[in-house]
């Protein structure tokens, strides 16, 4: 069974979800495209082969462009190499990019598509849980700088997103579990049914063939589709998707991007829950449920106590900040999101003490 989740807005597109859905790819690209640049991780050429095969069978000219694994791909140097390749292979404004891989790869593919000839078509084919439920959906593209994560980027909605659930079987268990953090985030900010499904079968949530796997994936994609359809450029509502991410991005920077994004987000959500409680917005029940759900699926909930000064420095460079004012996404209750503007340093440090080990 194939599902189609519509992302509305100024440039609407479909997220296609199902097992064995690569035949849908030519339809997402359209008839006007001739050359397709396929961006994929260099260490995993096998994940791009079925995609290239489907494109070649449909008559497209294929250019395979391997990039480094993970966050190492998201640099200006790698982006420049791809731009040079586009020029060498004659990629024109009527051609397209297909990003195949995890969230870092689709972030990069979207960014180079957004910036080549001031924007060409991109279709994302995420092959990890994190990519399917978060990174590949929404049109936010970006690369990292030494100062922080995703500070250089563009809003560039894809022509479509293809989530082939069959690819999840080969995802390493630790990576799959890390992807659950973004699904759980969707439960706390917008769809509490997600939390109920995980609480009903936490062990099943940890595997791609669990009883509720497809429902969890589709519900989280729907959460993101609803938000970005109403606010593509993060001028208001879309900021709620950053719940837990202010600390998470700082942790990733301190770890030199050697920690999985979902693991950092899990810790960041506990911090945001504690900040919600200590600021008088949410009750202890939100904190307890956050810790309980994350722990039940094997995600971390604490970080090194001595890291706070360095983390705090990195948190000051955050996309949600406005001028000198720092903004945090917090909860009034489950499913009820608000913002905390320019909180006192004592409050921020007190919340961190609650998650420090």
Was 104 annotated as part of a binding site?
yes
Catalytic site residue from 46, 77, 88, 118: 118
Catalytic site residue from 206, 261, 319, 327: 261
Joined tokens for residue 227: 């938000």
Q: What is the CA angle 153-156-159, rounded to 5?
A: 145
Catalytic site residue from 121, 156, 238, 253: 238
**Maximum Cα–Cα distance across the chain:** 61
CATH at 34: 3.40.50.1970
Residues 115 and 209 in one domain: no
Residues 242 and 200 in one domain: yes
pLDDT of residue 249 exceeding 60, the answer is yes
Was 74 annotated as part of a binding site?
yes
Residues 139 and 63 in one domain: yes
Residues 233 and 284 in one domain: yes
CATH at 178: 1.20.1090.10
Residues 254 and 311 in one domain: yes
| Nearest CA-CA partner of 122 in 92, 149, 99, 101 | 99
Residues 185 and 120 in one domain: no
Joined tokens for residue 209: 């063939």
Q: How far apart are CA 270 and CA 59, in angstroms?
A: 49
Query: Is 349 assigned a catalytic role?
Result: no
Catalytic site residue from 245, 291, 314, 327: 245
pLDDT in tens, 124-147: 999 999 999 999 999 999 999 988
Q: How far apart are CA 219 and CA 120, in angstroms?
A: 29
Residues 180 and 61 in one domain: no
Was 128 annotated as part of a binding site?
yes
pTM of the prediction? 0.94
Was 105 annotated as part of a binding site?
yes
Residues 195 and 165 in one domain: no
Give 48's contacts (C-beta < 8 A, 6+ positions apart). 38, 40, 64, 100, 101
* Helix H or strand E encompassing 219: helix 213-230
Residues 199 and 78 in one domain: no
Was 134 annotated as part of a binding site?
no
Query: Is 156 assigned a catalytic role?
Result: no
The gap from C-alpha 324 to its chain's centroid, in whole angstroms, comes to: 27
pLDDT in tens, 91-109: 999 999 999 999 999 999 9
| Nearest CA-CA partner of 270 in 173, 213, 209, 351 | 351
Query: Is 238 assigned a catalytic role?
Result: yes
Was 182 annotated as part of a binding site?
yes
Query: Is 261 assigned a catalytic role?
Result: yes
Query: Is 234 assigned a catalytic role?
Result: yes
Was 127 annotated as part of a binding site?
yes
Was 73 annotated as part of a binding site?
yes
Q: Say if CB 159 and CB 29 are below 8 A apart.
A: yes
pLDDT in tens, 286-343: 999 999 999 999 999 999 999 999 999 999 886 555 556 889 999 999 999 999 999 9
Query: Is 249 assigned a catalytic role?
Result: yes
Query: Which of 170, 196, 229 is the last residue in one of the domains?
Result: 170
Q: How far apart are CA 341 and CA 72, in angstroms?
A: 33
Catalytic site residue from 24, 40, 121, 140: 140
Residues 149 and 87 in one domain: yes
Other CB atoms within 10 A of residue 5 CB: 20
Instruction: Tally the domains of the chain.
Output: 2
Beta-strand pair 140-145/121-126: unpaired
Give, as one character, the DSSP assignment of residue 70.
G
Query: Which of 170, 187, 217 is the last residue in one of the domains?
Result: 170
Residues 270 and 346 in one domain: yes
Q: Domain containing 86: what range?
A: 3-170
Q: Report the DSSP beta bridge partners of residue 72.
A: none
Residues 67 and 106 in one domain: yes
Q: Say if CB 237 and CB 226 are below 8 A apart.
A: no
Query: Is 224 assigned a catalytic role?
Result: yes
Model confidence band, residue 180 (pLDDT cutoffs 50, 70, 90) = very high
pLDDT at 229: 86
Query: Which of 106, 141, 170 is the last residue in one of the domains?
Result: 170
Query: Is 242 assigned a catalytic role?
Result: yes
Q: How many residues does the chain have?
A: 357
């Amino acid at each position: 069974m194939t599902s189609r989740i519509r992302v509305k807005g100024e440039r609407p597109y479909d997220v296609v979800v199902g097992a064995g859905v690569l035949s849908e790819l030519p339809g997402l690209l359209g008839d006007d495209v001739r050359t397709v640049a396929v961006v994929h991780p260099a260490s995993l050429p096998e994940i791009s082969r079925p995609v290239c095969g489907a494109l070649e069978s449909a008559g497209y000219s294929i250019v395979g462009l391997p990039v480094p694994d993970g966050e190492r791909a998201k640099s200006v140097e790698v982006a420049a190499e791809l731009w040079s390749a586009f020029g060498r292979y004659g990629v024109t404004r009527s051609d397209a990019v297909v990003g195949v891989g995890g969230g870092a790869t689709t972030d990069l593919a979207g960014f180079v598509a957004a910036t080549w000839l001031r924007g060409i078509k991109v279709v994302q084919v995420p092959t990890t849980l994190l990519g399917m439920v978060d990174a590949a959906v929404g049109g936010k593209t970006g690369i990292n700088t030494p100062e922080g994560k995703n500070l250089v980027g563009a809003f560039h909605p894809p022509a479509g997103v293809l989530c082939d659930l069959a690819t999840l079987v080969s995802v390493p268990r630790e990576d799959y579990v890390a992807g659950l953090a973004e699904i759980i985030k969707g439960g706390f900010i917008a769809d509490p049914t997600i939390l109920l499904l995980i609480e009903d079968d936490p062990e099943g949530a940890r595997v791609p063939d669990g009883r509720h796997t497809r429902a969890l994936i589709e519900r989280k994609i729907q959460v993101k589709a609803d938000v970005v359809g109403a606010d593509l450029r993060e001028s208001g509502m879309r900021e709620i998707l950053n719940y837990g991410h202010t600390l998470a991005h700082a942790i990733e920077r301190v770890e030199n991007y050697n920690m999985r994004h979902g693991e950092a987000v899990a810790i960041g959500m506990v911090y945001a829950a504690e900040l919600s409680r200590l600021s008088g917005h949410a009750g202890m029940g939100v904190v307890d449920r956050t810790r309980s759900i994350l722990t039940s699926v094997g995600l971390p909930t604490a970080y090194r106590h001595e890291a706070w000064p360095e983390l705090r420095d990195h948190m000051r460079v955050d996309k949600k900040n406005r001028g000198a004012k720092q903004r945090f996404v917090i909860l009034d209750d489950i499913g009820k999101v608000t913002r905390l503007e320019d909180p006192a340093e004592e409050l921020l440090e007190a919340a961190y003490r609650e998650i420090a080990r």
